[in-house]
Amino acid sequence: MVLGSMVLAEAALRQGRWAACFHAFGPEARGGAARADVVMAEEPLDYPISREVDVLVALTQEAADRHAAAVRAAGLVLADSGRIHAIAPGSYRTLLAPLFRTAREVVGADTAGNVTALGVLCALTELVSEQALVEAIQQRFRGEAQTRNRKALEAGLRLGRALREVRR
């Protein structure tokens, strides 16, 4: 999610908004616990660290268990349906979606699951424009990595639009 948070923040900046990212990692070199926060606003940020969140994207059960309580009332918990088995009840909405399965089907690997999640999130919430996301992906990646992440983003956007229609 760290990479997804940077792409989201870059997309917000491209739209003239203010954005800040905060990342925290576990002691593992790779594959361990990680948290990434993005704070966005129309005006300069007074305090760029979130105390309460509008949206939580949880890609592991541990993340869902640890961070769901920080989601404000009427917020959203978006989680991977293949990796998350339960989300603690709260006053927030929950949505389980096949984020990693979609990434695997489109690009052949789980590694793009975070970008697929970003596409779903933005299609559901319209936090930033699709064009700003595409431009942020193009700026951050080159070659095959750019192609893979563009495909993952587009698949996430399609999935998010379909989920939005179902929820209406």
Quick: pLDDT tens for 39-49.
999 999 887 77
Sign of the dihedral defined by the CA atoms of residues 52, 55, 57, 58, in that order: positive
Inform me whether the pLDDT recorded for 26 exceeds 90: no
The average confidence (pLDDT) of the chain is 89
pLDDT of residue 162: 93
Model confidence pLDDT, tens digit, residues 113-142: 999 999 999 999 989 999 999 999 999 999
Residues of 148-166 as b/e, b for ≥16 C-beta within 10 angstroms? bbbbbbbbbbbbbeebeee
Inform me whether the pLDDT recorded for 10 exceeds 60: yes
CB neighbours of residue 7 within 10 Å: 26
CB 125 within 8 A of CB 76: yes
Model confidence pLDDT, tens digit, residues 73-116: 999 999 999 999 999 999 999 999 999 999 999 999 888 899 99
pTM listed for this prediction: 0.89
CB neighbours of residue 47 within 10 Å: 8
Inform me whether the pLDDT recorded for 148 exceeds 90: yes
